[in-house]
Amino acid sequence: MGSELERAYEELRAWCRERGHAGHDPFDALNSRLFQLTPLKHSRLARLAWTQAFKRSPFNLRPLALVPAGRNAKGTALFALAALSRLRATGVEEHKREARELLGDLLAARAETGGAAWGYNFDWQGRAFYAPKGTPTVVPTAFAVRALVEATRTLDTPGEEGTVSEGVWPYLTAATAACRFILEQLNRSDETDEEVCFSYTPLDRTRVFNASLLAGEALAAAGSVTGPKTWPDYALRAARYVVRRQRADGSWAYGADSYQSWADNFHTAFVLTSLVRILRDCAPQLEEDDATRAEIETAVGRGYRFWREGFFLADGWPKYYHRTAHPADAHSAGAALVALAELREREPDAAELAQRVAAWTLRELRDPRGFFYYQKRRLRTVRTPYMRWSQAWMAYGLARLLEVMSDE
């Protein structure tokens, strides 16, 4: 299967590079030039309805509504992570050049906010709050930190112990500045001596489990390379907050409030991935805290069993929700491949499940031109080629799977 995966990755990579990694997004409807000309742009309900209509439509309405293709910072981070993964697997210089190019684009896209942070390239209206385009947001910021720290580790050249080479210093500097943004500007909706929950943006006080945990992961990752000793403590407090709100069946709701009670495939994958990465990057602290390590590891095991049994069919079909087979989408597939790569040393069947998910996605959602469709719904396949949602996640997922297979 390796050659088929490599071909799929290279064709996807070429398709995305031809477009400058710019494209549409399921949530970019408010970028519509038509909508922005109307007074509806000032209405919360109109913004929410317009966004959901475009996201749910079986047809791509964006060309008609004059929604331009855009570059998304989170997508750039995911493409950079894919290039770094391919570099580790192959050692090919071309992947190093590509990674540096994407990382440069990522650094250029940051918003200076007393630290460094990244936002989305569109206005976003959610149920809980409204975030104008460019609002510093924890999710793209955390993925930027993941890419920057991995770049520091992957591209660093041997030197004096405890130092990093000059060529990766800008990446580490930006990652540490992003951690300052997380600690100084995000709200802490819940906080005790043992737990903490970070908000999605500085504008809200939502309690979204995967988003808060991504903040913890970023602090753990940067803290493992440099930074104050308190950063791993915040990461472990964020992990405790989430694992202590795991439901009896092993699942996690999207968030702590009543209107956030659903569970879905890719947000569960995000939680599992961040917990495993926090366990790894906080290993020195956990050597003296067996209770926290056991608590997190137990939650990961329970969460993985629910996720594996509830969100995948036997042939690898990645269900969006655990109670129904439809829709299945490339975002869920790509996030699953990344999570399974992280879980492979803990869960014996993770590698085999990853190959089933990859095979199904290549068979059912891949276009002959190299990109991946959005969703397979009950009555039709939505073929819109979203850049961040589908292409970036599949690039990252395929690259991680190939990297894992190269180590075997």
350 is a domain residue: yes
What token pair was written down for 382?
């939505």
Using the structure block, give the residue that is written with the tokens 């992957």.
154
The arithmetic mean of pLDDT across residues 341-356, rounded, is 96
| Nearest partner of 273 among 408, 127, 189, 393, judged by Cα | 393
Task: Answer whether residue 194 shows pLDDT above 50.
Answer: yes
Decide if pLDDT at 58 tops 60.
yes
pLDDT at residue 166, rounded to an integer:
72
Separation in Å, CA 204 to CA 126, 127, 201, 273: 11, 12, 6, 25
List pLDDT tens digits, range 70-99: 999 999 999 999 999 999 999 999 999 999
Residue 164 has pLDDT above 90, yes or no: no
Position 111 scores a pLDDT of 85
Alpha carbons within 13 angstroms on the beta-carbon side of residue 8 total 25
Per-residue pLDDT band for 162 (boundaries 50, 70, 90) equals low
Rounded Cα distance between 92 and 251, Å, is: 40
Is a pLDDT exceeding 60 seen at residue 129?
yes
Tell me: pLDDT of 114 over 80. Answer: no
pLDDT at 215 over 80: yes
Given this model, what pLDDT does residue 163 score? 61
The answer to whether residue 321 scores a pLDDT higher than 70 is: yes
Instruction: Give the C-alpha separation, 183 to 330, whole Å.
Output: 33
Average pLDDT, the chain: 95
Residue 33 lies in a domain: no
pLDDT tens profile 244-258:
999 999 999 999 999
If you count them, how many residues does the chain have?
408
Cα within 13 Å of Cα(330), Cβ side = 31
Let me know: does 124 contact 130? Beta carbons within 8 Å: yes
Asked whether the predicted pLDDT for residue 303 surpasses 70, the reply is: yes
CB atoms within 10 A of CB 177: 19
Residue 402 pLDDT exceeds 70: yes
Token readout for 318 is 């990645």
Supply the pLDDT for residue 157.
67
pLDDT of residue 160: 47
Q: Are 206 and 128 in contact (CB under 8 A)?
A: yes
Which pLDDT score is estimated for 256?
A: 94
Compute CA distances 267 → 71, 77, 213, 226, 274, whole Å.
23, 18, 11, 28, 11
Which residue(s) pair with 131 in the sheet? 124
CA 116, 107, 74, 46 dihedral sign is positive
Cβ burial, residue 308 (10 Å; 0-12/13-18/19+): middle
Q: Where are the beta strands (DSSP E) in 254-346?
A: 319-321, 324-329
Among 122-126, 225-229, 389-393, name the one with the lowest average pLDDT. Answer: 225-229
Q: Is residue 76 part of a domain?
A: yes
Distance CA 375, CA 365 (A): 7
The pLDDT, as a whole number, for residue 161 is 53
Percent of the chain with pLDDT over 70: 97
DSSP string covering 100-129, please?
HHHHHHHHHT-EESSSEE---SS-EE-SS-
Residue 221, domain member (yes or no): yes
Does residue 379 lie in a domain region?
yes
- Residue 42 belongs to a domain: no
Question: Are 326 and 367 a contacting pair, CB within 8 Å?
Answer: no
- 260 located within any domain: yes
Domain CATH for 112: 1.50.10.10
Residues ≥6 apart with Cβ < 8 Å to 266: 331, 332, 335, 336
pLDDT interval class at 293 (50, 70, 90): very high
Q: Classify residue 214: in a domain, yes or no.
A: yes
147: left (phi over 0), alpha (psi -120 to 50) or beta: alpha
The parent domain of residue 17 ranges over 2-26+53-407
* Domains identified in the chain, total number: 1
